[in-house]
């Protein structure tokens, strides 16, 4: 007998009486936008990230120029900004090893924990937001949602081959519980929220 | 036959260093308090726990059909699904995959299941370089140890010791123990390993039945660094890790990190559904005793566990005895109800390593009745004759005395005077294990019975 049928057979024999599947939980979308932005900022800070509220994409541009070294490799998957390395030219993800800054567009952000859903098409290479030394994600304020229940209603997480919620920079507390930012991946994560007009 | 190591005797080694014990206790309690703060911020917390528990009830009671659907959907996604009835078969699958794909360099992210299966040692014996990439796991891998906690694997070590380990293995400055400096050294070392790896092995936090994909949670991003660079990804999953719907993740992700460390979510929550073009994705579904546990009515709820470690952080015994004293892959309260199902004799002292205070059940995000199961395992173990000889003898004697009013009166009287007259040295002799770190209360002049007769009976 194969292990598969052995395991399934044992389960059939040993499982308890069937119980019903409970309804999905949801707590409604009763927040107003200002509260969501404040909550997102607070959550992001707790995760080790930084949130900057801007009125326009131009504001982001000047911030990026002053904060990151233009001499180092930058990949931008946002149409609003140009990097100095063309992601389309990269075939092997190992060639992303020296990327200093990745600029990505987020889809939805979750206020309760600052998680941003990034489906594979927003990354091009799955490893990009992990291998880059610094990460910038741009999000429209109107795409903020209060909690995880709401975001799972909005996005189909199985539509892309891969997708990830990113809520902050790479971090660890494995040495005596001391928080250190920049374990393997980005040493910083900056989220720009573009306020509604 | 080798003597079974009891929890108490194993804990003794840890307790010798009282400063470390104190630090361990306080650090884990701090994590427990962070969990409380995070949980109390959500008015719906209890609703989330109840829902998570009920969804897992559904999973346990329909596990066979759910697994079949999960397998079908995963295969349709291009995932190769394998089944393993035990640790040996799991390890054999991994080895075969590595051989077929001519892999030499392997990076691993945290997986309690592969610890349970002894995968690292198995592969190392076959000549593979297996690199644990979670910082805590890399530390203990260098130190030739196993995790002492399922979420914080190196919590038993102080930074000074980690500095020494890194000095030996990574050439960091002698005596340097700054966590940022040490983490940077590990980052440089592990980046090279990620770049060179041909295969990445990960665990699975949740397997999604309706979409045939799975979720892996990390803070470091190490699972993703590994899987997205290597040509093949092997995900190892216990069969109980299923959830029926994608949207159920909303509930479990809200509970998991808050319960584990007091974070609102791990910084990375990755959803894998299909391999990268031209790359391979394997998923191994492992039983290894889980189907038997499913058949134990009193204990099957332990299979709801989502491995947050909250029960360890809150447990007064775990905090003061550390993970190694349990001598089982999953330590602490949850380990003490899971492990006896795997090997009753080896783990026969674990259900006794508890005060039955119930704190573990109170913090459990999926509402497992852990302390009740600890008590129930004690009944099973005693009936099977596995309790320690001294406990057996003491219980027998206790039963005799308690069952006979005249013996009880006589011995009570004798003890009250004897305790006063006996020299301290004798009272706190080796026989009195209770008195090792505690003083006996002063013995009363008279028994309650005498007092009652004098004052109330008339």
> pLDDT means per 10 residues in chain B (458 residues)?
76 91 96 97 96 98 98 98 98 98 96 96 95 98 96 96 98 97 98 97 98 98 98 98 98 98 98 97 98 98 98 97 95 97 94 96 98 97 84 82 86 82 75 73 84 83
Residues of B in contact with A116 (CB under 8 A): none
Residue A23 lies in a domain: no
Model pLDDT, residue B302: 98
pTM of the full structure: 0.93
Residue B245 parent element (H or E): none
Residue B130 parent element (H or E): strand B129-132
Sign of the Cα pseudo-torsion (B283, B288, B292, B298, in order) = negative
**HSE on the CB side for B308, CA within 13 Å?**
32
Residue B192 neighbours by CB under 8 Å, 6+ apart: none
A119 vs B: CB within 8 A: no
- The greatest distance separating any two alpha carbons of chain B, rounded to the nearest whole angstrom, comes to 92
Distances (CA, A) of A149 to A40, B48, B318: 16, 11, 34
Q: How many structural domains does chain A have? A: 1
**Which single residue is written with the structure tokens 């790896």?**
B197
pLDDT for A197 beyond 70 = no
pLDDT for A195 beyond 50 = yes
Cβ proximity of A130 and B221 under 8 Å: yes
pLDDT for A133 beyond 70 = yes
Residue A7 lies in a domain: no
Provide the ipTM: 0.97
- At residue A92 the predicted structure's pLDDT band, cuts being 50, 70 and 90, is very high
Four-CA torsion B399, B402, B404, B406, nearest 10 degrees: 140
Q: What is the CATH number of the domain that holds A131?
A: 3.40.50.10420
Which of B221, B224, B291 is facing A11, going by the closest CB pair? B291
Residue A181 lies in a domain: yes
Measure CA B140 to chain center: 16
Q: Report, as an integer, the average pLDDT of A36-40.
A: 95
A128 three-class SS: helix
A174 vs B: CB within 8 A: yes
Residue A16 lies in a domain: no
B213 three-class SS: strand
A27 vs B: CB within 8 A: yes
Residue B369 neighbours by CB under 8 Å, 6+ apart: B301, B361
DSSP state of A187: S
Beta carbons of B63 and A11 less than 8 Å apart:
yes
**Min CA distance, A186 vs chain B (Å)?**
9
Q: Tell which of B255, B267, B286 to mutate to test the A interface (max A CBs under 10 Å).
A: B267
Which of B220, B227, B254 is facing A171, going by the closest CB pair? B220
E strand residue ranges, A67-161: 74-76, 101-105, 109-110, 115-119, 134-140, 144-145
Model pLDDT, residue B1: 43
Note down the domain range covering A141. Answer: 32-194
Beta carbons of A115 and B269 less than 8 Å apart:
yes
Helix and strand counts by DSSP (H, E) for chain A: 5, 11
Which of A7, A113, A158 is facing B287, going by the closest CB pair? A7
Model pLDDT, residue B2: 52
Side by side, the strands of the sheet bearing A134-140 are A50-54, A188-194, A134-140, A101-105, A74-76
A30 three-class SS: coil
A45 vs B: CB within 8 A: no
Burial of A98 (0-12, 13-18, 19+ CB in 10 A): exposed
Residue A124 lies in a domain: yes
Residue B119 neighbours by CB under 8 Å, 6+ apart: B90, B91, B94, B130, B201, B236
Q: Tell which of B183, B205, B287 to mutate to test the A interface (max A CBs under 10 Å).
A: B183
Q: Cα-flanking dihedrals φ and ψ of residue B272, to 5°?
A: -100, 120
Question: What mean pLDDT, rounded, does chain A reach?
Answer: 95
Residue A1 lies in a domain: no
Which of B55, B63, B152 is facing A174, going by the closest CB pair? B152
**HSE on the CB side for B328, CA within 13 Å?**
28
Which of B136, B268, B287 is facing A166, going by the closest CB pair? B268
What is the full DSSP assignment across B361-396? HHH-TT---HHHHHHHHHHHHHHTT-S-HHHHHHHH
Beta carbons of B267 and A2 less than 8 Å apart:
no
Q: Summarize pLDDT for A142-184 with one digit per residue, the tens.
A: 999 999 999 999 999 999 999 999 999 999 999 999 999 999 9
Sign of the Cα pseudo-torsion (B378, B383, B385, B390, in order) = positive
Cβ proximity of B257 and B249 under 8 Å: no
Name which of A130, A133, A122, A135 is nearest A162 in CA terms: A122
Residue A19 lies in a domain: no
Residue A11 lies in a domain: no
A195 vs B: CB within 8 A: no
Taken in order of first residue, the domains within chain B and their CATH numbers are 42-288 (3.40.50.10420), 406-455 (no CATH)
Count of CB pairs separated by less than 8 Å, A with B: 250
DSSP state of A190: E
**Which single residue is written with the structure tokens 């990009």?**
A128
Residue B272 parent element (H or E): strand B268-272
Residue B28 parent element (H or E): helix B18-40
Partners of B236 in the β-ladder? B284
Q: How far apart are CA B154 and CA B150, in angstroms?
A: 9
């Amino acid at each position: 007998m194969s292990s598969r049928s052995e395991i399934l057979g044992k389960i059939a024999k040993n499982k308890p009486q069937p119980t019903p599947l409970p309804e999905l939980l949801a707590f409604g979308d009763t927040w107003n936008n200002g509260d969501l932005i404040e909550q997102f900022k607070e959550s992001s800070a707790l995760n080790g990230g930084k949130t900057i509220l801007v009125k326009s994409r131009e504001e982001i541009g000047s911030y990026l120029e002053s904060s990151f070294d233009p001499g180092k490799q930058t990949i931008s998957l946002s149409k609003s900004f140009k990097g100095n390395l063309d992601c389309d030219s990269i075939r092997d993800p190992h060639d992303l090893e020296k990327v200093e800054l990745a600029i990505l567009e987020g889809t939805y952000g979750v206020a309760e924990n600052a998680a941003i859903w990034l489906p594979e098409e927003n990354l091009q290479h799955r490893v990009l937001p992990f291998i880059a030394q610094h990460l910038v994600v741009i999000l429209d304020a109107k795409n903020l949602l209060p909690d995880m229940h709401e975001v799972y209603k909005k996005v189909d997480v199985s539509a892309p081959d891969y997708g990830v919620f990113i809520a902050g920079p790479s971090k660890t507390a494995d040495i005596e519980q001391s928080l250190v930012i920049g374990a393997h991946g980005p040493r910083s994560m900056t989220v720009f929220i573009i306020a509604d007009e | 036959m080798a003597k079974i190591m009891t929890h108490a005797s194993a804990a003794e080694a840890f307790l010798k260093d009282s400063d470390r014990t104190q630090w361990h206790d306080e650090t884990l309690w701090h994590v427990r308090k962070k969990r409380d703060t995070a949980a109390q911020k959500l008015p719906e917390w209890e609703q989330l726990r109840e829902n998570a528990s009920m969804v897992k009830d559904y999973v346990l009671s329909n596990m066979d059909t759910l697994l079949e659907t999960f397998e079908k959907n995963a295969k349709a996604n291009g995932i190769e699904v394998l089944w393993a009835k035990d640790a040996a078969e799991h390890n054999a699958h991994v080895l075969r995959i590595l051989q077929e794909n001519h892999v030499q360099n392997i990076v691993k992210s945290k997986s309690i299941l592969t610890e349970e299966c002894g995968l690292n040692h198995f592969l190392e014996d076959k000549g593979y370089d297996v690199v644990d990439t979670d910082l805590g796991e890399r530390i203990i891998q260098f130190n030739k140890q196993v995790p002492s906690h399922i979420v914080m694997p190196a919590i038993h070590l102080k930074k000074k010791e980690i500095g020494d380990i890194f000095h030996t293995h990574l050439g960091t400055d002698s005596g340097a123990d700054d966590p940022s400096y040490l983490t940077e050294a590990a980052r440089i070392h592990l980046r090279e390993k990620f770049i060179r790896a041909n295969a990445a092995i990960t665990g699975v936090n949740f397997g999604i039945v309706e979409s045939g994909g799975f979720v892996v949670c990390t803070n470091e991003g190490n699972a993703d660094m590994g899987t997205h660079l290597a040509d093949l990804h092997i995900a190892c999953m216990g069969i109980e890790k299923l959830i029926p719907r994608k949207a159920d993740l909303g509930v479990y992700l809200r509970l998991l990190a808050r319960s584990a460390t007091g974070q609102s979510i791990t910084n990375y929550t990755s959803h894998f559904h299909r391999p990268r073009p031209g790359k391979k994705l394997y998923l191994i579904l492992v039983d290894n005793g889980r189907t038997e546990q499913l058949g134990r009515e009193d204990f099957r709820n332990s299979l709801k566990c989502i491995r947050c470690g909250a029960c360890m952080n809150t447990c007064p015994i775990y905090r003061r005895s550390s993970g190694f004293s349990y001598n089982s892959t999953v330590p602490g309260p949850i380990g003490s109800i899971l492990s006896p199902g795997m090997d009753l004799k080896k783990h026969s002292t674990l259900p006794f390593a508890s005060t039955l205070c119930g704190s573990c059940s109170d913090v459990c995000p999926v509402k497992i009745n852990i302390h009740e199961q600890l008590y129930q395992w004690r009944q099973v173990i005693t009936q099977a004759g596995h309790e320690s000889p001294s406990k057996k003898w003491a219980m027998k004697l206790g039963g005799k005395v308690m069952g006979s009013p005249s013996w009880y009166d006589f011995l009570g009287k004798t003890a009250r005077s004897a305790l006063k007259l006996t020299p301290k040295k004798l009272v706190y002799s080796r026989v009195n294990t209770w008195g090792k770190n505690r003083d006996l209360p002063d013995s009363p002049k008279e028994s309650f019975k005498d007092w009652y007769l004098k004052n109330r009976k008339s």
